[in-house]
């Protein structure tokens, strides 16, 4: 448990991809839960949030020194990084720097978000799942390759990681109804961003899926 924060179980967390659609929700929910949040963003103007427990750090995940500076002194890392045009390597290079900085600063816990097209041995994909993955591979091969390389690096690390896989992310308020399973096993192809963020924060502390890559859905 971190020493900062004004509620039981509060931690010092850094959130990468904090200005994205899911990242902004993560920031809001983490603050509401009492955590001290460092939000790492490429453009601070995209995160117009002020809070006494919020520190906004502007930087690029491709800059290892900037990433290390944001991770220093943290209890845990949350990543909502996604594919970034035109290079399509933000997840790959970003998590490489994140993992190196976590080792440098002795930070153990990492919860990172990716798509359900990233496979897991526990998956039992149905026809629709196979079609979606095939379409992504044909239409956006760079996006899928970036996500796969990101997951491979996380799985190969010695950190206390959880990869949270999602299908289609939807807008709207959280339902609190989150199914946890695998592709084709106990899940559906969509989840609200609010519910995905809430699951990531819950998993951060409960560690129910340590070194696993569950798929979640509504």
pLDDT given at position 8? 58
The confidence band for 2, taking pLDDT boundaries of 50, 70 and 90, is very low
pLDDT given at position 85? 67
Q: Is the pLDDT of residue 7 over 60?
A: no
What's the rounded Cα separation, in Å, for the pair 195 and 176?
6
Q: What is the pLDDT of residues 176-200, one digit of tens each?
A: 999 999 999 999 999 999 999 999 9
Q: Is the pLDDT of residue 6 over 70?
A: no
> What backbone phi and psi angles, to 5 degrees, belong to 216?
-120, 150
What would the two tokens of residue 132 be?
Answer: 């979606």
* Average pLDDT of every residue of the chain: 93
Integer CA distances (angstroms), 18 to 29, 37, 38, in order: 12, 10, 9
Portion of the chain with pLDDT greater than 70, in percent: 95
What residue ranges do the domains of the chain occupy? 12-217
pLDDT given at position 185? 96
Hey, what CATH class is 12-217 in? alpha beta
């Amino acid at each position: 448990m971190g020493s900062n924060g004004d509620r039981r179980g509060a931690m010092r967390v850094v959130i990468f991809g904090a200005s994205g659609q899911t990242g902004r929700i993560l920031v809001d929910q983490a603050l509401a839960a009492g955590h001290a949040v460092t939000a790492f963003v490429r453009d601070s103007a995209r995160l117009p949030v002020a809070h006494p427990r919020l520190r906004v750090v502007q930087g690029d995940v491709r800059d290892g020194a900037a990433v290390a500076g944001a991770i220093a002194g943290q209890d845990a890392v949350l990543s909502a990084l996604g594919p970034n045009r035109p290079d399509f390597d933000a997840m790959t290079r970003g998590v490489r720097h994140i993992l190196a900085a976590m080792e440098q600063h002795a930070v153990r816990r990492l919860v990172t978000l990716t798509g359900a097209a990233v496979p897991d041995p526990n998956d039992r994909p149905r026809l629709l799942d196979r079609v979606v993955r095939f379409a992504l591979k044909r239409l956006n091969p760079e996006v899928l390759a970036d996500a796969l390389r990101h997951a491979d690096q996380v799985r190969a690390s010695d950190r206390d990681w959880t990869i949270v896989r999602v299908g289609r992310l939807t807008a709207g308020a959280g339902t609190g109804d989150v199914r946890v399973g695998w592709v084709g096993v106990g899940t559906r192809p969509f989840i609200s961003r609010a519910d995905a963020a809430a699951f990531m924060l819950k998993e951060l502390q409960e560690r129910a899926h340590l070194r696993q890559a569950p798929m979640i859905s509504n």
